[in-house]
Every structure is written in C-alpha cells, then in structure tokens.
Structure 1
Amino acid sequence: MNRITLLLLLSVCVLSAQKKEQDTLTEVILESKALDRNPLVIPIDQINIRDLERHTPSSLIPVLNETPGIHIFSGALNTNRLTIRGIGSRTPYGTNKIQAYFNGIPITGGTGETTFNNFNPESFESIEIIKGPKATPYGTNLGGALLMNTKQPESGKIQLNEHFTLGSFGLLKNSLSAGYGNDSFYFNLISDKMLSDGYRENSRYDRDALLLDMGFTWNENNSIQFLFSQINYKAEIASSINYSDFIQNPKKAANNWMAAQGYEDDKSTLLGVSYTHTFSEKLKNTTAVFYSYSDHYEPRPFNILDEFTGGYGFRSVFSGGIPGKLKNKFNIGTELYTDTYNWNTIENLYEENNRQGSLEGALLSDNREYRSRWNTFADFSLCFNKFVMQLGLNFNSTSYSFRDYFNQGETNKNAKREFDAIWAPSLNLQYHFTPQHQLFVNFSYGFSYPSLEETLTPDGVINPEIGPETGMNYELGTENFFFDRKLKVSATVYYMDVENLLVADRVGEDQYIGRNAGETSHKGLEFQLKYITEIFPGGILQPYVNATFNRHEFVDFVSADNDFSGNKLTGVPENIINGGIDFRHQIGFYATASYRHIGSIPMNDENTIFNKAYNLINLKAGYKTSLFPDFDIEFTSGINNLFDKKYAASVLINAIGFGGAEPRYYYPGLPVNYFGGIKLHYVF
C-alpha cells in the first residue's frame, strides 16, 4: 500500500503538458497506433487491416503473435492461451488476466476468462493491445486489455464480399458479408463457416458464426449502435501427448481422449446496444448495455462437463474537458458485469460403450455460481507545451457466491466470497521532443482475480484464503519517425513485480487447488522497426522486425518442500523475434514473407525440462484486379511452416504422469501446410 500512496503523491507533483495528436499515416506510410477512441495518451500496439491480411484468414493467432510481448500457446483452434509479458503463462488452459472488449462491450467472463480465437478475423478493422495494468478504463488487469473493433462499410455504397478459402488438413472457410453506410446509418452483416479435419487424431473442427453490426445517427448529438454475435462450434479434443509420441507420432491423440472421443460443443451469443449523446463540445456520454450467453457441453475421459452461463451488464463513460487556459481531457465511467454460471459433471461410461465414445452415466455434481464485477474509473489528462500528464484511478469490487445442489452439507449450500476492494492508480507521462520523437513513462498498479478452479477446492468448497494477484508496473519507452515518417522505430523497457502469485496445483486428472504462493518479477525489452519505401514506380516494399527479450523469474516461490526462488518463470519463452517483408505493386500483385523465432521455454518449476527453441517461416501472395467497374476479384495462396519444422505450438506446464505414465507436456504444431482462396468484392 505504501507504493500506491507514493504513486498518488508523485502524480500530484508532476508538471503536465500538452499532448500532440498522433499523426495517422496513409496506406503507403506507416500507421500511428493511437486511435481517437482510445483514452490513453501514450502509444499502444495496434493491429490494422493490412496486418490481418498478411496471414491466413482462419485464425487471429499469427497476427496477434507478431506483437512484441505477446505469445499465444495454441494447442488447437479451440485451445489457446494468450500471455502478455509472461502474465497468464501459468494458467493451465484458456486465457485470463486480461480484459477484452468487442466494440467497447466487455466479453471477458465473470472469473476473468476470455475466448478470442473463435471470432472471424475478417470481421475486424483493428485490434488494440494494451500491455500491463495501465488500462485504467479497461479493468487494470495485470496482463492488460484487448480491444477489438469491427470493420465499417464505405459511405454511400452497398458492398458485397465473398471470400472462399481451401487448405491442408481439410480446411474450408467461407465468409460472406454485406454492408452499407451513409452519413446517418450503417450496417455490416457477416456470415462465416469454417471446417477443418485437423492434423491430429480426434481434432475435427466445425464453426458457424454470424455478426451484425449497425448504427444510426439521427442528429449531430445522438447516435446508437447495435451489435449481435452468434458463434456455434463443435471441436474434437486431441489433448496433449508425451515426448515419445511428440517425436515419433505427433498426429496421435492422447489415448484416453481418443477412447472417449472427447470434444466440446459450444454455443455463444453476444448482444449489445450502445448510445452516445453529445451534450456540448466539452462533454459527451456513451452508455452500453449488453447480454451474453454460453452453452457448453464437453465429454472428457474423467467426466462429462455440462455448463451454461448467462451474463449481463452496462458500461457508461463521460468524456470531455474542463474549460480553462490549460488544455485537458477527462474520462469518468463505471462498468458492471454479473453472470450466473451453472455446471454439472456427469459420469462418462465411454469404456462400456463398445468404442462408440462418450456415454452419460450418473450425475456427479450440480453447482451454480453467481459472479459480480464492478469497475469505476477516471482519468484526467493535463497539457502544457510539449508535455502531457495523465492520471488514472480504477476501483474494483468483485464477489463470488457458490451453491452446491448435489451435496447436502450446509458448508456447500451457500458459500460466498467477497474480495477486498482494490484501488488501482496509474500515471502516464509523455514528452514530445519534436512531432516525430517522443518519450513516455508509465507507473501503474494492477490485479488479477483467481479463476473458478482456483477459488474452489476439489471438494467444491469456496477457498476462503485465496486472493487476487497484485503487481506494480514500471515502463519507459520511445517512439520515433525518420525520413519523412517512412521509418518508425520504437522501444520499451518494463519491469513488473507480481505479488500473491496464483498457483493452480494439480492434484488429480481434472483437480486443482489454488493458492497464493509467492512473488515473480517480469523484466523485458521490446523493440519494433518498420520501414516503407518505393523501390521502383508503383512498387512498395515494407520490411519490419520486432523483438522481445525478457527475464521473468520467481522471486519468492516455495511449493511443498521445494524452493523455486530464482528459477525462470514457467511457460515463458526466453526471447521472441518476428520479422518479415511485404511487397505490393500498383498492378494488384502483393507478396509477404514472415519469420518467427520462439526461444526455449521452461516447462516445469524446477527448470529441468525445456521446450526447445524453434523458427517458422510463412509465405503468402495474391493478385487483385477489376473484372469490370465496381467488381473486383482477388486470388490468394500461402504456405505456413515452409521448412516443415517439428515444434510444440503449446505446452502444458508442470504436467504429471498418472499411473506411471510419461507426463504429457506437448501439443504438436502443424507441419508444412498450404492454403488458397478467392475473394469477390462488388460495390453498387
């Protein structure tokens, strides 16, 4: 608490200065990463349409992985774990410790879990990534925030788009969209179908998605937006395998998952309405109400999980400025999210089902959990000459209430856990030496609440001792443009110390005990370079490179009789390097080559087993032309993992071999694979 107090006092004493607006660049000039809709005054990482189109349209993972500090463990299309600066690396499955938004609507569940890779990449205009807890308006999670924004149709025209893709391992993807926009109305409707047989046994994937985004402006002071997303998918689960199988037969599924023919069947709905009212040039309000629903059924070797979640909430933000001589800007808002999580486990009798897969048996558990998350936040930016200071403060209150309808004991009937409220301040400082060169600093405090598995014991009882992780983030960076803004160079150094480290100790095949077990330090350097030049008339070349060098380690971590203090943090690559070259010609031809290096990864807390470093190269090329006015056709093709490198796309840390079996650490990555497609674009 002393550090928080010191930060607040420091904030009051700092001279403030004027924020110069971030320049935006055209298609042939590097883009700035600051968007007007984002309240942060310091630069953030932004993925734009050009970045999205550089990769296969089947997944968001390749483009997200090109962001410094980001690494996604991808066991399958439906099994992904996004980590930011090492935060989230110890989560066994899924993504938590970040807050995600879709067009400003929260999509992170009540326990902080986020599913992101089931969205269609072709739906997005941009994705913004805020690393660390400096995102005061977005929850101040230790990992940061993910802001996804849909495409907007061209004004005054009706557009029809068809994109059909075929690829290796039975990949088939078809995306059809229609859109229209004018000064007062727009709509965008996207239907997407994706199938894959999968590279491994028991890994077929089938997804249907529908997205409707529309808005209406009836005068200069009032507008409303509507968002509807429906995603249904069924994905077979191959699970992780041991080292012997990884080397000799990576196509193999885990024996028990294959015998049970395990899979997950998921249906999710997101509905949101957002209303914006402008009171004056100095004040406006945006308020959104939203509802989400998820129905999930997952037969597993150890049991069958049947769950559904209904959530709702609202988010309201006032933004503007205070009249006076000094330029300033403020955002004040609140966000409430509450959901009800219902889950049953059922006996799986697959061993008695004549090799026909999973079969429901007796009911094993019947549970319900009520979860509530309330954020109130404010930030204030004060400007003077070349300086800008932004002070932010976030207040969070979170509670869980658990009921067990299967066991009759009074302890399980009505357990409730209200976490202590958290105040999380943030201070951003920015100095512009010139319009092309700036320096920025961040001090911020953040937190991450435990997941469902960590809040309950294997017996289904609320754990009264476990609390949130907390951490202090220190960040120093620079962003520079050279040669008429054709060259962009940026670098950031950061340090974050995380206390009350959340650890999920595995005590059974699907049983974990969560506890606060120590302290970790996250230190790193992130570097980006982009350059764009016209190498000959009509030919544009854009090389880029970014790198992440880090040392994340346990400062204080004792588990049972083992002292892991000083060891490298489990599940974090030692370094990450991305690079590539984009080439485009005005006749419509384009080509891109991308390179990715992932350093070795410690897979257990003892640091005795490491996943080997690996390198991947991907290629993509295309040609776009007009068949006649207002009708374009585009052909694309690509190769992923050009040199057929054998690698683990994901690892399960601290794996345990039950019954004397070899531990299953590895999720094999795809070997060399191909894809090709055709796009049709009609405007009338």
Structure 2
Amino acid sequence: MKFPIPFYTLTLFFLMLALPQALIAQRLVSGRVLDAQSELPLEGVTVTASSGGQAISNELGNFSLSVPEAARRLTFSYLGYRTQSLVVPEPAQELRVLLQPTGASLQEVVITGYETNRPLLETAGAVSVVDREMLERFDESSLVRAVNTVPGVRMEERAPASYRISIRGSSLRSPYGIRNVKLYYNGIPLTEATGVTQLNLLDAANFGQVEILKGPTASVYGAGTGGTILLEPRRAEAGTSQLQAGATFGSYGLRRYTATASSGSEKSNLLVQYSRQQYDGYREQTAMDRHVLLISPEFYISDKQTVAANILYSNLYYELPGGLTREQYDENPRQARGGMFGSVAQNASMNHEAMNVGVRQEYRFSDSWQNTTSIYGSHRYQDHPFNTDYERNAYQEFGGRTSFVKEGHIGRIAATYTFGGEFQRGLEVARTYGNRGGSPDSLRSDDEVISKIGFAFAQAELELPADIIATVALSLNDTQYDITRLAQATSGEPYTYIRDFEAVLSPRVALLKRITNEVSVHASVSSGFSPPTEEEILTSEGSLNQDLEAEKGVNYEAGVRGFALNSRLSFDVVGFYFRLSETIVSRQDISSVAVFRNVGSTSQKGIETMLGYTIIDDARLALSQLRVWGSYTYNHFRFREYQRDETVLSGNELTGVAPHAATAGLDVLTKPGFYLYTTANYVDEIPLNDENTVYSDAYFIVGARAGYKRQLGSRLALDIFGGAENLTDEKYSLGNDLNAFGGRFFQPATDRNFYGGIRVSYNL
C-alpha cells in the first residue's frame, strides 16, 4: 500500500504535537541529599516519585527527576539510612534532604508503649526496640537471635518454632509456650484470654518493629508481671509500591520462601505477605513446616479517621524431640527422647491451624480528643500427640480494646489523659486421649473452658516545669475461668468449676527529667498482678489446680539514656528491684506433665545496659559506616521464702535465669553495597532446678552475615547474602526444661550451621 505522505513523516508530526502536552503535564524536581549528622553529600540515594519515576543522586548528592503533576510524594532510600518520604515541592523550589543513619538518634525513635507516642528520650520506662535492620542481621528463620540482643530479655527455642520468652526471669512458670508476657500485633491483642500467646503462628518477616516494655505494665496493658511486647507490621513508605521475593537455604534442610507486595499512597497502605518455612531438623524429631499468609491494609479515610485490619492465616506443624539427661546430652545431643514413651515412637508433635481477623479504627474528634478502638476474632485448631497422651483442642475467641486520649492544660501545665478498657472471651473444647504410637486411643477427659479477662485503665501525663514529665496510671483487672468436665475415663464424676480471681488495682507512677537535648533520666514504681493461665489451672493430664493464687509484685526502677561524644555514643542503662509474692513455679511429674504451685516470694535485682558507638559514618568513603554495639545484663535473682516439704530453698538462685548475659555486634557498610554483620553472645551458667544442684553450661557463640545489596537501575534492587551461626561450634542447650523429671533438663541447640539466600525487590 502506498501512502500519499510518508508514514514516518506523519509519525514525527504527531509526536511533535504530543510533546508539548507531555511537557506541560510534567515538572522537574531537583535537590540535594545529605547525611543528617555530617551534612556531607550522599551518592547513590534512590529517589522514587509516587508516580513510579526514579532517579539516583550523584557524587555531590544532587538529583533531578521529571514527575507528572499528579505525583504527590518523593521517597528517598539508601543502604544504612532510614527511608524518608517528603511532599513534592512547589515548582522551582530546590529540595534539601537530610537522611538519618540507621544508628538513629534516640530522639527519632517513637515509642507507642504506655499510649504516649513519645520519643524514646521522653519515655519513662525500660523500653527496647528491635527494628527491621536488627531483624535482618540474621536469616529470619526465627526471632530468637534478634530478640536476644535486648538486655533483660531471653528468648528460647526448645525445638524449631517452640518459643519461650523470659523478661526479667518471667519464664520461671513457663515450661513451654509464652506466658506472663502480653503481646499485641498492630494494636490488637495477640495474647489469648487463656494467658498464652501463640507467637509461633507468625513469621519473622511479618514484623517491621518489635517494642519491648519490661516489668509490670498492668496500668495500661492489663494483668502481668513480666512485660509487654508490641509488634508492628511492615509498612510501605507513602508513594511507593514494591514487589519482593526471597529464598533462603541452610544446614539441616532449612528452606525458606517469602513473597511480599506492599503499596503506600496518600489514602491507603497495603501489605500482602506469604511465607513458608521448612526444616528437616538438627535433632531427631525436630522437623517443621509453616505457612503464613498475612493481609494488612490501612485506609486513611480522612484527616480524622484511619481504619486498619489484619487477616492472618497460619498452618504450622513441628515435632517435639523431648529433653535429654546429662548423660544423653554428652553422648549424642542429636538424639530425641527414647524409651517406651519416646518422642519418635509416639510422634510427639504440634499441629496448629489458625485464623485471626482484627480491625482497628483511629478517630480524631477534635484537635484535643481522639479514640482508638480495635475488635478481633480468632479460631484455632490443635492436634497434638505428646509423649504420654494425645490432645485435640478447638479454640475460639473474640475481644476488643478501646482507648481515649484527651489533651489539655492544668493552668500552664500541658496534660494528656488516657483512659479505656479491654475485654477478651475465649471458648476451648479440649479432649485428651491416650497416645498409641502417634494415634489417639481411648478418651481420657473431655472439657469445655470459658476464659474471660477484662480491665479498665486510666493515665495522666503532665509536662511539668524544668523539662519534667510525670505519669500516673491505674488499672483494674479481672480474670475468670469456667471449666466444665463433660466426661472422664477414671471414676471421677463430671463437674463444673468456676475460678474468679478478685479484681485488683495496679498503679504506676513515673518521672522523667530531660537533662539536655541528648540525655534524660527516669524513675518509676509499678505494681503487677498476674493470675495463673488456664493451662496452669487445668493441667494437660486433666487435673484441677484449685489452690493456685495470682502472683503480685512491685517493681522499682531508674535509668539514664542518651548520647555523648558528638552523638557517636548512645547509651541506655536501667537498674531495677522487683519483689514478687505468691511466686508460681513449675515442676514435672513422672509423666512429664508440668504442675504448678505458689512458693512464697522472690527478690529480683538487676542492671540492663545497651551501648553503641559509631566509628565511621561518611558516605563518601569506601568504608561508609563502621559501628560497634553491645548489651549486658546482670541478674541477682533469689528465692526469698521457699520451702518444699522439709527442704528450705530460701536464698537459692532463681531457676532458669543466667546471672550474666552479654551480646556484642559489629556493623560494616560500604559504598559499593557490600555489608557485614557479626554478633557474639555470651550466657552464663543457668540453674535448672530449684535446688540449684543442676546447671546448664555457660556458652559463647558467634554468628555472621555478609552480603551485597545494590540498586540495579531505577526499579530493581538485589540483596545476596550468606551467613553462619554458632561459628564457635559450642555445645549448648537453648530452652532447658526446668525442674524436669528424670533429669531430662537439656534441649540441645544446633551446632555450627550455614545459610545463604537472595532477595529481589521491584519498584512498580
């Protein structure tokens, strides 16, 4: 076919017509990116517009980017620095962007605990934050190594995905699982009304930040003497949309896959995440397989209203190897518990399938009044063959939390008032059978348990003269268990048992003094109340523990935190004294069932220290960042009043607590994108029984992760990494069984092991 006018001429003509229109719809944004502390230029910073366009800063820190008129925000990201999002400037306005290094100033870390949303330097209390950078120092197969960098906190793994968390010795009553520590995810209760938290149903990739409040926090978060952990999901920066996929492979059959889609805009933020982790096991009977799907949207409906939701589905299977005696541990730490009721023979394992759905709304009535309310519902099914029995449980729960915040003045003193409440109700249908080689045998017991907990709280925070912040808080807590036995194999008759723990007031008083812009001191006194969990009242073999009382304690603490040496040195030091009465301890009987009782009182004194020092922080250098940090915990924990039969145990060391623990790390970042993280951890010997006749060995382990992280073009980013754990090849036990029957105290941890992986990110 012959055109009267050449085709390329027409094409060029229409392009020339369209070009001015395209130029009209675009505008040029330019600026300079600098290090916030040194104000030196940063080369290689990725600048992303909310429309999707990208640019890279040059050696002078300068950038320019053509964006459409519809673009609202620019996001600046760079390895070793916190991502920052800014509004697109007016035409002809030059941007000057200051990026904060990841060793962020304490003024920049906002604490959501105590309902204050204040910088850490203005928060009175022992608070530690595990951020995303700390989680990514390790292979993310577990939270254990990241959480154990925090002073005063010990996380254990008796088997893969079998977690136990101790804050200042709170694992004394936790032979397994997480008790006496309350957890929230995205502001929604994760701890069940039974008092137990199924943290292993989530994956480490689900967390953007872990905030740990140590000691009694009952004034805001209800009953508990251990502490509170606030978990936050990962959120995309406004104006960014990203797809990310990763895979990790390691020793003993570790396979881990993650896929994430995230998007942030002016009106919404969406996170969709799927992860699967498989592990063949270091010991016999330690395989695991976990699927986790998380959908977490957040909608900014107006300047006054934000609505967020969590939809979490988890399917988890993991095996239980059982404890070993000292002789078995020394002979072959990779073996599982043997004998007639051995873990392999009985297929000792845990099977969980769970769904949790929660919705949270934040609404601001005015500049001085706002409310946050969350409601949720959950369902969980368990199918567990244990060494001596077989349990099948179905659990349903609903609950909610609301808090109101009112800002005002008392004369010239600024005051913030917070008040609200929380309620949870759970129903568990629990059946226990005999275990015949991993299959359910005859029915032993059939129970229905209704658990109800609720509390109301109020808090006043006053900004006094001389840079003093005073906090006074109070909560009223109530817990009740209704237990109905429908059937029992023995001669016992069915029954109904109601245990209502009397409502208890728990106060907290705290003071904080800002010494300078970089240093503050704080002190507080708080009261704790911790009723037994449902599993402590109704033990796994089906017997009732009717005499068990709630723990009560008073905690005194004081600390100092801040910066020195031109902000290169960060420090956070806390000393505390905690007196606990009606202390609950656990012991195992002949069938390995944990039984609980009150034993008098304990005295717990300690010091927790966190230090960090930035040696090099210059983006122009090949070695752009060099930082060392460390934490140290000293515990002087003793039984004050404790006698069992004719044996006096008063003055003995508290079971399960190491007197000394320390962690140290070295972070190395380079301009080309290579990085190295090394972490060393020391734990002193730990008493494993109340008599203090058996101790675990002290151990010193070292781990390292090295990799290459680089932006490839304007949209693609790559992170290739490899690492090792337990480079010292120490033989140690992580997650010891306390007061174990038959001397089966030890749960051996993995020897020297390796991993490697890749993560690919694509900006849409």
TM range, normalised to the smaller chain? over 0.9
Residue equivalent to 1:359:
439
**In the TM superposition, what are the counterparts of 1:427-438 in structure 2 within 5 Å?**
427-438=509-520
Match of 2:473 among 353, 375, 392: 392
Residue equivalent to 1:6:
none
Q: Taking every aligned residue pair, what percent have the same amino acid on both sides?
A: 27
Residues 134 and 442 in structure 1, CA contact (< 8 A), matched pair in contact too: no
Residue equivalent to 1:7:
none
The aligned amino acid for 1:441 is A
Equivalent-residue separation in structure 1 for 2:276 and 2:539 (angstroms)? 39
Aligned-residue offset at 1:412: 4.2
Q: Structure 2 regions of 5+ residues with no counterpart?
A: 1-97, 117-122
Aligned-residue offset at 1:36: 5.2
Match of 2:747 among 667, 675, 680: 667
The aligned amino acid for 2:181 is I
Residue equivalent to 2:434:
347
Residue equivalent to 1:37:
112
Is 1:506 aligned with 2:588? yes
**In the TM superposition, what are the counterparts of 1:190-269 in structure 2 within 5 Å?**
190-255=273-338, 256-269=342-355
Is 1:309 aligned with 2:395? yes
Equivalent-residue separation in structure 1 for 2:109 and 2:236 (angstroms)? 21
- The CA deviation string for residues 30-51 of structure 1, in whole angstroms up to 9 with x for no partner, is 3428525332532521111111
The aligned amino acid for 2:664 is G
- Aligned to 1:321, what secondary structure does the other structure show? strand
Equivalent-residue separation in structure 1 for 2:648 and 2:539 (angstroms)? 24
Residues 415 and 461 in structure 1, CA contact (< 8 A), matched pair in contact too: no
Between 53-62 and 506-515, the greater mean CA deviation after superposition: 506-515
Residue equivalent to 2:381:
295
Is 1:495 aligned with 2:581? no
Residue equivalent to 1:645:
730
Equivalent-residue separation in structure 2 for 1:545 and 1:241 (angstroms)? 33
Equivalent-residue separation in structure 2 for 1:137 and 1:374 (angstroms)? 12
The aligned amino acid for 2:172 is S
Aligned-residue offset at 1:471: 0.4
Residue equivalent to 1:485:
567
Is 1:126 aligned with 2:201? no
**In the TM superposition, what are the counterparts of 1:530-545 in structure 2 within 5 Å?**
530-534=612-616, 537-538=620-621, 539-545=624-630
TM-score in terms of structure 1 length: 0.92
Match of 2:633 among 548, 554, 558: 548
Match of 2:665 among 580, 586, 593: 580
Equivalent-residue separation in structure 1 for 2:453 and 2:573 (angstroms)? 34
**In the TM superposition, what are the counterparts of 1:579-618 in structure 2 within 5 Å?**
579-618=664-703
**In the TM superposition, what are the counterparts of 1:126-165 in structure 2 within 5 Å?**
126-134=209-217, 136-165=219-248
- The CA deviation string for residues 144-169 of structure 1, in whole angstroms up to 9 with x for no partner, is 10000001112223210011101000
Output the aligned Cα RMSD: 1.8
Residue equivalent to 1:64:
147
Choose 1 or 2 for highest CA Rg.
Answer: 2
Is 1:184 aligned with 2:267? yes
Match of 1:418 among 471, 480, 500: 500
The aligned amino acid for 1:387 is I
Structure 1's 575 and 486: CA in aligned 2 closer, same or farther, altered over 3 A?
same
Residues 608 and 631 in structure 2, CA contact (< 8 A), matched pair in contact too: yes
Match of 2:521 among 439, 443, 449: 439
The aligned amino acid for 1:415 is Y
Aligned-residue offset at 1:437: 1.2
Is 1:47 aligned with 2:130? yes
Is 1:451 aligned with 2:533? yes
Aligned-residue offset at 1:140: 4.7
Hey, which bits of structure 1, 4+ residues long, moved more than 4 A? Answer: 408-412, 457-462
Aligned-residue offset at 1:363: 1.0
Aligned-residue offset at 1:485: 2.0
Is 1:636 aligned with 2:721? yes
Match of 2:357 among 251, 271, 288: 271
Equivalent-residue separation in structure 2 for 1:460 and 1:156 (angstroms)? 55
- Aligned to 1:220, what secondary structure does the other structure show? coil
Residues 453 and 514 in structure 1, CA contact (< 8 A), matched pair in contact too: no
- The CA deviation string for residues 563-598 of structure 1, in whole angstroms up to 9 with x for no partner, is 100000111111100001001122211101111000
Is 1:528 aligned with 2:640? no
- Aligned to 2:747, what secondary structure does the other structure show? strand
- The CA deviation string for residues 23-67 of structure 1, in whole angstroms up to 9 with x for no partner, is x99224434285253325325211111111111111111010110
Residue equivalent to 1:370:
450
Equivalent-residue separation in structure 2 for 1:346 and 1:316 (angstroms)? 41
Aligned-residue offset at 1:650: 1.8
Equivalent-residue separation in structure 1 for 2:261 and 2:110 (angstroms)? 26
Aligned-residue offset at 1:184: 0.9
Structure 1's 665 and 552: CA in aligned 2 closer, same or farther, altered over 3 A?
same
Q: Structure 1 regions of 5+ residues with no counterpart?
A: 1-23, 351-357, 658-662
- Aligned to 1:434, what secondary structure does the other structure show? coil
Residues 633 and 661 in structure 2, CA contact (< 8 A), matched pair in contact too: yes
Alignment size in residue pairs: 649
- Aligned to 2:642, what secondary structure does the other structure show? strand
Equivalent-residue separation in structure 2 for 1:260 and 1:188 (angstroms)? 40
Residues 477 and 492 in structure 1, CA contact (< 8 A), matched pair in contact too: yes
Match of 1:80 among 130, 142, 163: 163
Equivalent-residue separation in structure 1 for 2:187 and 2:225 (angstroms)? 19
Between 245-254 and 129-138, the greater mean CA deviation after superposition: 129-138
Residues 209 and 229 in structure 1, CA contact (< 8 A), matched pair in contact too: yes
Residue equivalent to 1:354:
none
Between 496-505 and 439-448, the greater mean CA deviation after superposition: 496-505
